[in-house]
Amino acid sequence: MSLYALQKLLYTLNREPPLQDAFKADPAPVLDRFDLNEEERGALMSRDIGLIYVLGVNGQILMHFAAFCGLPWADYLEAMREGTRRYGPVRAGVYAMTTSVDEKVTGI
């Protein structure tokens, strides 16, 4: 997995309007600039916020991409929940899950 490259792409996309314009026009050449695996490329091409979250992207970076994609805040939060239901626990990064998605680890 190339989580660093995935997060670097999203971080850069969040900060550079010319790159945003290029991504909107044709995302493939933008994605080619970064060392992404096929799953990451597919998630970005389809704007699958849930899968991108499960791949391990930091929520602070991901929320800006979700907004860029036109996703309202409540839908963004639900997309992350749906991502864990559909694809399983977060695989890497600071949100990597060490328990099942239904386990209540704080007692609430």
| pTM for the predicted model, two decimal places | 0.86
CATH code of residue 62? 1.10.700.10
pLDDT of residue 96: 75
Q: What is the extent of the structural domain holding 59?
A: 3-87
pLDDT of residue 62: 96
Contact predicate 61/97, CB 8 Å: no
Q: Is residue 105 part of a domain?
A: no
Q: What is the pLDDT of residues 7-65, one digit of tens each?
A: 999 999 999 999 999 999 999 999 999 999 999 999 999 999 999 999 999 999 999 99
Q: Is residue 35 part of a domain?
A: yes
pLDDT of residue 105: 56
Q: Is residue 42 part of a domain?
A: yes
Q: Is residue 99 part of a domain?
A: no
Q: What is the pLDDT of residues 70-108, one digit of tens each?
A: 999 999 999 999 999 999 988 887 777 666 666 665 554
Q: Is residue 78 part of a domain?
A: yes
Q: Is residue 98 part of a domain?
A: no
Query: Is 1 buried (19+), middle (13-18) or exposed (0-12) by CB count in 10 A?
Result: middle
Structure token digits, residue 60: 């602070």
Domain count for the chain: 1
